[in-house]
Amino acid sequence: MAERKASDLFVECLEAEGVKYVFGIPGEETLDLNESLDGSSIAFVPVRHEQGGAYMADMYGRLTRRAGVCLGTLGPGATNLITAVADAFLDRSPLVALTGQADLERMHKESHQHIDIVSMFRPVTKWNARLQSARVIPEVVRKAFKVAQAQKPGPTHIELPEDVMGERVDADPLPVRPRVRRPEPSRAELLEAASVIRAAANPVVLAGNGVARVGAAGALRDFARATGIGVAETFMGKGLLDYEDPHALGTVGLQSRDYALAGFEDADLVITVGYDLVEHAPRNWNPGRDKQIVCIDTVSPEVDEHFMTAVDLVGDIANILADLGAELSGGWDGSDGSRLNEIVLGRFEAGRSDDAFPMRPPRALWEVRQALAPRDILVSDVGLHKLWIARMFPAHEPDTVFIANGLAGMGIALPTAIAAKLVHPERKVVTVNGDGGFLMNVQELETAVRLRTPIVNVIWENRQYGSIVWKQDKKFGRHFGTDFSNPDFVALAGAFGMPAWRIEAVDDFGPALRRALDLDVPSLIVLPIDYSLDVAISQELGTETVAA
């Protein structure tokens, strides 16, 4: 290859990694990189706040399992990326963050917009580095993608000093091996796990985000069918089993008695599959530390005194489930449902005839479920609405209900939904937001309109930070610092050039949602919501154990 500009080589390396989009905002210190992107096969997607761009990369990575890429300039551009990079860190999305930087020669002294971004990103990335010389670009880029995409995935970060990106260099991208070999547990470990499980009278499976991440839902369904063992899902594991599957025990984690009512109280053994402790602490389902645990995951599990595992099966989750299922086949009957599902789905179904207005959550969610096909996508923002979605929105398929439960940052829904629509243009995409969180990334409505990504944004309007009101009322019997006024959301959407509607009667929501879903442009629906119905539903479910 001939000598060329370092930024050209850098972009060739991104192309070799299969990058299709870079989401971000250019800066004066990323001029060369942006110019090189312009001449490449990669689409640079300008966003309206770097956080929006990083959330788009986060969802792109989550859905494609290839790292999404975001870009911010030095200083404020980089710090604006951080919240969404941290989300990718705790929610385990492969993401590569690129940030500009001053010339190497002005880094040792006080200098315009120069702060130590590499140190700042270190705690929220799996790996990061400053590009010290153009010659190492192929290694640095390959490493950033390899580390980001390795189990458990997460973000990496490369800092790009302006002068390095302008150097002349003669090098080529390193080869990218498309398939990564995943390790397998030994036969002895597998047989040991099988014998521990065989000795259990009442085993249950707790399945988490990690199963969806590696596309092992089919293997999990087969395992449940082959063994007869029931499966409970975390919020982020929604849809791993179709909620109508006879082995589905429900979504656990919102309240203290969820696990008990899903069968954990009587369980002597819990098989965790792709379970990330960040989602929900094991103390909640193993308070007495008396359950035997078999852990199936892609990496060795975290240490927690409530999660002392008997056997770990580390490697390819789908293969492990298939091999273990073959060893165990039959033996249990976890197919008569769970009391948890009975209560929650009963309330959900009852919601269909609730004609209260402002609308109450079960009816609002019932209408969303009716309007979406099984593989369509619902993206939740963060707040009381998220707890309702986690609690009762029934999912048929994995990767169809997105609930951020690692970092859980408000404002995630709109930008991530845009990326979901870019990845799956054939599926309908709806966001449900609180009126607090929606305004945190509202600027990305312009990006959605410009990209013509027809997502439907539903805002549950109550003019309060609902989940904080709920918590304060319970703790202090009053709430404070939680009320606000809103802009006229319909007029605001109109200013962005989008169709929008305010729902004035309970029966109007379903038809409005269907009408919006048929459009080929993004739209917005304001739904006045009544949160007086407690998400805790019934005393039988106990007190809540999570924050929104």
Convert residues 385-404 into a mask of x (bound to ligand TPP by CB under 6 A) and - (unbound): x-------------------
Among 26, 161, 237, 434, binds ligand TPP (CB under 6 A): 434
* Alpha carbon distance 33, 37 (integer Å): 6
Q: What is the DSSP letter of 339?
A: H
Judge contact between 139 and 174, C-beta under 8 A.
yes
Nearer to ligand TPP, 77 or 437 (CB): 437
Q: Is residue 205 helix, strand or coil?
A: strand
Least gap, CB of 30 to ligand TPP (angstroms): 26
Least gap, CB of 491 to ligand TPP (angstroms): 19
Nearer to ligand TPP, 230 or 415 (CB): 415
Least gap, CB of 480 to ligand TPP (angstroms): 13
Least gap, CB of 430 to ligand TPP (angstroms): 15
Nearer to ligand TPP, 175 or 481 (CB): 481
* Alpha carbon distance 47, 355 (integer Å): 40
Nearer to ligand TPP, 79 or 202 (CB): 79
Nearer to ligand TPP, 351 or 436 (CB): 436
Nearer to ligand TPP, 251 or 462 (CB): 462
Least gap, CB of 460 to ligand TPP (angstroms): 6
Residue 287's nearest CA partner among 311, 267, 302, 273 is 267
Q: What is the DSSP letter of 134?
A: G
Q: Is 512 in the site for ligand TPP (CB under 6 A)?
A: no
Q: Give residues 437-496 in contact with ligand TPP (rule: CB under 6 A).
A: 437, 460, 462, 464-468
The separation between the first and the last C-alpha atoms of the chain, rounded to the nearest angstrom, is: 53
Least gap, CB of 64 to ligand TPP (angstroms): 25
Nearer to ligand TPP, 332 or 402 (CB): 402
Stretch that binds ligand TPP, among 125-133, 167-175, 359-367, 429-437 (CB under 6 A): 429-437
Nearer to ligand TPP, 128 or 464 (CB): 464
Least gap, CB of 531 to ligand TPP (angstroms): 7
DSSP track, 453-504: --EEEEEEE-SB-HHHHHHHHHHHSS--S-B-----HHHHHHHTT--EEE--
* Alpha carbon distance 489, 481 (integer Å): 22
Among 37, 241, 328, 410, binds ligand TPP (CB under 6 A): 410
- Joined tokens for residue 136: 């190492």
Nearer to ligand TPP, 33 or 410 (CB): 410
Judge contact between 82 and 396, C-beta under 8 A.
no
**Beta partners for residue 269, in sequence order:** 203, 292
* Alpha carbon distance 43, 37 (integer Å): 7
Among 72, 75, 436, 522, binds ligand TPP (CB under 6 A): 436
Among 258, 435, 444, 544, binds ligand TPP (CB under 6 A): 435
Stretch that binds ligand TPP, among 148-156, 308-316, 355-363, 433-441 (CB under 6 A): 433-441
Distance of CA 451 to the CA centre of its chain: 22
Convert residues 354-383 into a mask of x (bound to ligand TPP by CB under 6 A) and - (unbound): ----------------------------xx
DSSP track, 65-123: SS-EEEEE-STHHHHHHHHHHHHHHHHT--EEEEEEE--GGGTTS--TT---HHHHHGG
* Alpha carbon distance 484, 471 (integer Å): 17
Q: Is the peptide bond before 152 cis (omega within 30 degrees of 0)?
A: yes
Cα dihedral 482, 488, 492, 497, rounded to 10, equals 140
Radius of gyration of the chain (CA): 24
Q: What is the DSSP letter of 536?
A: T
Least gap, CB of 318 to ligand TPP (angstroms): 33
In order of 101, 124, 235, 301, the CA distances from 314 in angstroms are: 39, 24, 23, 9
Nearer to ligand TPP, 264 or 470 (CB): 470
DSSP track, 277-338: TTTS-GGGT-TTS-SEEEEEESSPPPP-TT---SEEEES-HHHHHHHHHHHH-S-----S--
Nearer to ligand TPP, 495 or 547 (CB): 547
Q: Is 409 in the site for ligand TPP (CB under 6 A)?
A: yes
Least gap, CB of 528 to ligand TPP (angstroms): 12
Least gap, CB of 458 to ligand TPP (angstroms): 11
Nearer to ligand TPP, 50 or 435 (CB): 435
Q: For ligand TPP, which residue has the nearest CB? A: 434
In order of 154, 429, 476, 493, the CA distances from 516 in angstroms are: 34, 11, 41, 13
Least gap, CB of 409 to ligand TPP (angstroms): 4
Number of residues binding to ligand TPP, judged by CB under 6 A: 19
Stretch that binds ligand TPP, among 116-124, 132-140, 232-240, 435-443 (CB under 6 A): 435-443
* Alpha carbon distance 494, 197 (integer Å): 58
Which residues of this chain interact with ligand TPP, rule CB under 6 A?
382-385, 408-410, 434-437, 460, 462, 464-468, 548
